[in-house]
Structure 1
């Protein structure tokens, strides 16, 4: 998957939205760096010892108005990644026609009703508190309800954390990251469903969503500065 989308293939409205998000991200970095702090450090601040698999902040971050939710944690070995953000939307914030996939062969109970949250995407972070990639996961990783790709994509515009806990700049940054990298995130979500379908076809009677051999359905390295410069050049700035 190409980490740099063909900007010529995007609508003027989409390019403008991405460029505005790039400006928002730049501003978030400015105010954090001015104080000598970073995104990950703010999420972990005051949380005690950083323990593998624990959610940070404790009990997650939820905007009760938009029903957007996220947490930060670590559980994967790697020289580059410090940890990652998991971004969700809860059922109360979804477009009205969104319904979890009907999957009779499920061997685990999926969350239902108001708890039927959807995992949108994860953002991988380096040890300095900057993003290095996006990825999508299988259902068992996040214990979500599974929504088809196009419904999940329709949820992306609904993700917004519009309050100051644990840090306003962090919340604004996460919201803007989904807007700046919208084409890439859409591609990852569609790839997610394609990978799951391929695995299911190879084992028709199995519950693919609980297969521990399928964890990451797709990973895409990213470069915020490179995409921002490309957008600015295309806009003639």
Structure 2
């Protein structure tokens, strides 16, 4: 699927500019015999599965942007992955958590309340995207996950997409190159991420229809809701072709 087909020239130019910075950061780190994962883990003595890096996550108190890196699977290609979040209360407008999900969960026991255990208020956070990294510290895949995976507050796709468009890390801790790289990556692959977020909702709703007596958002058999393999270089080539046309 060509995610660039409906993007205007200005959006394509912004994506290309972001992609140029993403590629330059990767190349500058490679010239120093480093990479994004090594930069993020600098100073860490050991790397343990399931543990968040850095400890306490990266959080920008000006914008509400947040992320961490960890690993919990070994499929041969992936070293670990970033989980990228937005705390919506920092965006200056009201985003309401989903009051219901089209999953059939409403036909469960009357005692069950949708979202009663979700983080609320200042603790509410929305998962925007996961970014899988290979053993060379390069991005290889984007993916979305079910609610239980990150214990997030569930927001409808349209709201998460609005948060994506305003995601920004402004500070330099723990690594300025990594923070700037994440900013750029989310812009370079914005059409693909939007599609993945929409597919996330579709996957949860489909699971709910298949099991109307369960809660699809807590279904441990549904973890990754959508994914796509990526290449920064390939995306930039396609952008340049689209702009040239």
* Rounded Cα–Cα distance in structure 2 between residues aligned with 1:105 and 1:161: 34
Q: Aligned match of 1:11 in 8, 14, 20?
A: 8
State the match for 1:52 in structure 2: 49
Q: Is the 8 A contact 1:196 1:217 kept in 2?
A: yes
What SS does structure 2 have at the residue aligned with 1:48? coil
What SS does structure 2 have at the residue aligned with 1:66? coil
* TM-score calculated relative to the size of structure 2: 0.91
What SS does structure 1 have at the residue aligned with 2:56? strand
State the match for 1:38 in structure 2: 35
* Rounded Cα–Cα distance in structure 1 between residues aligned with 2:175 and 2:117: 34
State the match for 2:144 in structure 1: 136
Q: Aligned match of 2:68 in 59, 68, 71?
A: 71
Gaps of 5+ in 1: none
Describe the superposition over 1:46-99 as per-residue Cα deviations: whole angstroms up to 9, x where unpaired.
122100000001111011101100000001230111100000001322361311
Q: Aligned match of 2:93 in 93, 96, 100?
A: 96
Describe the superposition over 1:113-136 as per-residue Cα deviations: whole angstroms up to 9, x where unpaired.
011100000001000000001000
Q: Is the 8 A contact 2:9 2:243 kept in 1?
A: no
State the match for 1:117 in structure 2: 125
Q: Which runs of 4+ in 1 moved over 4 A?
A: none
State the match for 1:213 in structure 2: 221
Report the Cα offset of residue 16 of structure 1: 1.0
Q: Aligned match of 2:19 in 15, 22, 31?
A: 22
Report the Cα offset of residue 235 of structure 1: 2.5
* Rounded Cα–Cα distance in structure 1 between residues aligned with 2:24 and 2:233: 13
Q: Cα RMSD between the aligned structures? A: 1.6
* Rounded Cα–Cα distance in structure 2 between residues aligned with 1:98 and 1:38: 36
Q: Is the 8 A contact 2:4 2:191 kept in 1?
A: no
Report the Cα offset of residue 234 of structure 1: 2.7
Describe the superposition over 1:196-222 as per-residue Cα deviations: whole angstroms up to 9, x where unpaired.
001111222312111100000011001
What SS does structure 2 have at the residue aligned with 1:7? coil
Q: 1:165 to 1:202 in 2, by over 3 A?
A: same
Q: Is the 8 A contact 2:144 2:197 kept in 1?
A: yes
What SS does structure 1 have at the residue aligned with 2:236? helix
Describe the superposition over 1:174-228 as per-residue Cα deviations: whole angstroms up to 9, x where unpaired.
0111100011000000000001001111222312111100000011001110110
Gaps of 5+ in 2: 101-111
* Rounded Cα–Cα distance in structure 1 between residues aligned with 2:234 and 2:244: 15
- For these two proteins, the number of residue pairs brought into alignment is 234
Q: Is the 8 A contact 2:142 2:228 kept in 1?
A: yes
